[in-house]
Each structure stands twice: as C-alpha cells, then as structure tokens.
Chain A
C-alpha cells in the first residue's frame, strides 16, 4: 500500500509536468491544426536560454526565468513568421514536415551554441522530501507539479477572460467566421506560436531542473508526450493536464503491478492505454467531437 501511494504521488507529479508540455502541442493545434513535432526543441531552447541567464550571466534563478519568458515568446513568434507563415494553405503533412525541418535545424543550432555536454542549473528546488505517513514526496516534484498546474490555470483564465484569448478561441473554432468578423488569422497564429514556445520554455526549465540539460536526449521529452496529447484530445487544455496525469500514473504503476509482462512495460503502456481509449472515444477523452457533415 505504501509503495502504491508513493507511486501514485510520483505519477501525479511527473504527469502534471507532461501535461504542461502537452499544452504546447494543444495550443498550436488549436490555432492552426498542426501537430508541432519540434515542441521538444522549443523546450530545449527555453531551458538553455534560462541556463544562459542563470548560470552564464549569474542572474538569480527566478529573475532568469522571468527574463527567459519574453525571449521564448519572441522565438515562437519568429518561428511562425519566418517558417510557418509560408506554409499557410499547404497540405497538412507538408506543414508537419516543416516542423521536422525546424526540429533538425534547432538541434543543430543548440549543438553549435551549447555543445553536447550536459549542463546543470544551480539548485532550483529544495532537494529534501516531505513525509506524509510513509509516503515521501520530494519538494522538487511538488514544485514541478505546482508550477505546471499554475500555468494551466493561467491558460484557462487567459482563454476564458481575456480578449486575445477569446479571439484565439474563436479562430480555432471557425477560421472563416473569424476572418469575416475582422480577426487577423496571421496575428492569431503568431500569438499562439509565441505562447506555445513560452509553455515549452517553462516545461523545459522544469525538466531541466529535474534531470539537467543536454542537446542530445532532451528533445526526446517532446515526442514522449505525444500519447498524452492524444489521450486528452488534441484541442483540449484541461485534457492535456488530465491526460498527462493519467499517463504519469500509468508509467509509474505499470512496472510495479504489471511487471510480470516483462521489463520496459512503462514505455509501452501509455501507447496501449491511448489506443484503447481512442477506439472507444476517437477524439480523446476531452477532444471536441464535431458532427460530421456532408
């Protein structure tokens, strides 16, 4: 029972982080209908920029994070303006290929600037852990989960109550209708990429604080959350966080209780789970199911 609780707590915390990363995918999908495979690279860039500020420029960590966010916004907007803008109206799969091109280019630039050696943030989160009964929860995971949930709440508020949020929601709902009431789609696209890059940067910083940075394995965390995105539904913000938590739990509980199926089940279990869920609900748990018309 203790083990179970311990794993549940870890799963929740790691899952919340997955959820935050998944959010980046969802934001871009909602605005432009594109699955951005370069999300892991956006994460890496955010994390490294924060590294530059906090370690190389010796700025206190939280100030460094605050400085990173506008840079990340800018990176997102620049990528949209100079790369994705040319792909408007092209077949979707070409657009996905564009994100693959970006993924390779960004890896190259990061390797060029920061090399392949692992880098470490100064100690960000307290290393101690808190004990509740027999369950140890490390502050590190608590912080990661807390920050993730904090950001998700901010997004929900942003989309509910701000004008830009409303405009972005309107656009994702019906591009033509949005166009006809004078919304600039280009502006919305650029905003959503900027916000997605910001989300990715926050996710990258959290993961960087958990396990350290490098240019070779770090981008893999981007693709690792694909099942999360699809489980929650490609266009659902709460879906991203709930999907993240479900996958986090699966990854932690499966090796313990289904370990007899062979090692490494934690890698497969998310995919199998998502596949089963999708067969029952083809648009994910919270994805919008549109009535098909002809």
Chain B
C-alpha cells in the first residue's frame, strides 16, 4: 500500500493537445480513506485529469503513483485490473447490452475461464458465470435496479443510465472509485439517491473516491477534501471550509480580478 496512508499520488502532471495546455503542473494526492472532490469551471481540465489517471491520455510530463506503479506507463485495461474504476461524464455504457450484461462485461477482468471453456460454455464457464452473476445481483439490489435488469441500456432514461454506470464501476470491485459528474443533469430527487449510493459505497467498501461535481452544495456536504482546478492549474486544495474561504477559488468562480 501507499506510504503514509496515501493511495494515489499525482506529481506535476502536464498535458497538452497541440498548442492547448490542458493540465499544467498539477499535483495532488488521494488518501486511503476519503472522498476527494475535484471542482472547477468548465474546461478547467478535470476530466482530462481523470483520463490521465485511467491511462487514456498520456501526460507529457509528470507521473501518477499507485501501489508503487507509475500509471502513466501502464495501459488502460491494466489500470482497470489494478482496481481503478470510473464513471463517465457523457454516459459511456455499452448501449447494445442489457443492464445485467453491462455489469457482467465489467466482471470480465475477474473471470478466469479461457476461450475453449467459452466455446463449450457448459462446465467451467457456466459455473463461473453463475458465480459472478451472484455478485452482480448484489450490486443490482444495492442500487435498486431490479426492474431494469434485462432492459437494453440504450432505452433507459438518463438518470437510470447514470445509475447503471455506477453499478458497472462497482462491478469491477474497485480499490479506487473515480466518478466524473455522476449527478450532472439529474433532478433533486435523483441527485439525493445518487449521493446516498455514493456515500453507502464509501462506507461499505472502505475505498477512496474521487468525484468531479458542479453542485457546490453537494460537494461541500459529501467531500472530505477538495481540489480546485482552473485553466489547467491547481489553484487550491483543502477541506470544504478552507475552500469556501479561498480567494483564488472565489475569483475563479465569480470571475473577479
């Protein structure tokens, strides 16, 4: 495990696309047991930062240390196997699959049976499928998705799709959970449900969570610490109370000088 209760540490991340600098010298750390919120105006580089952690973007400079590995040198699907799981800002579900199969698809990394077993199906593959099905059903129950279990996710309403995404992220049995605006575009009721699921997950699984969110009230309520990004730079870091009092943050949000 990480040293001094640090689960994940990003050091001097620099990322640019052509001439556009998306992230400049961003460093932060995620502790063993906390909900860390990343906030900032649109285009501040929040999603890019998560994409760097997931290995989807490769930062030009800097490193991201996790369990002794530098994530910037590991391919995306291996990062998932190492236990980093996430949801996406613009829902990125497998629209052709049902809710159940979306979750099962995430279990792929925990399944062991090989191609030949898959061809035969009966026996090893079947036994393992059933074993994982049990895990998935627990998640479905936990997220209260029983009624949409077999519906193709392409046909689900927005709020439920967000919920399926959370379910898929949980199906990976993550050691770190990255949530990219899990409550964007929801009504108050749905937001409350989602916040409850996130907090329950955090309590139950004892895993650290990084959350990107625009709803400041919510962030202040659930986050232990907050990192504020603006134009690709980290402008503040601290507990909610510290952030509320931070001038740089107020300037960034209210456009002061």
A: residues with CB less than 8 A from B are 291-294
Contact = CB atoms under 8 A, between A and B. Distances in A.
A105 to B, nearest CB: 30
B17 A294 contact: no
Contacts of B51: 294
11 contacts: A291-B17, A292-B56, A293-B47, A293-B90, A294-B47, A294-B51, A294-B56, A294-B88, A294-B89, A294-B90, A294-B92
Contacts of A292: 56
A70 to B, nearest CB: 42
A291 to B, nearest CB: 6
Interface of B: 17, 47, 51, 56, 88-90, 92
Most buried by B among A291, A292, A294: A294
A294 B47 CA distance: 8
A293 B45 CA distance: 12
A292 B17 CA distance: 11
Contacts of A293: 47, 90
Given A294-B47, A294-B88, A294-B89, 8 more contacts: A291-B17, A292-B56, A293-B47, A293-B90, A294-B51, A294-B56, A294-B90, A294-B92
A292 B51 CA distance: 11
A292 B89 CA distance: 14
Closest 4 CB pairs of A and B: A294-B88, A291-B17, A294-B92, A294-B56
A179 B129 CA distance: 45
A292 B92 CA distance: 13
Contacts of B92: 294
B55 to A, nearest CB: 12
Nearest to B180: A294
Contacts of B47: 293-294
A241 B140 CA distance: 55
A293 B89 CA distance: 10
A246 B206 CA distance: 60
Nearest to B88: A294
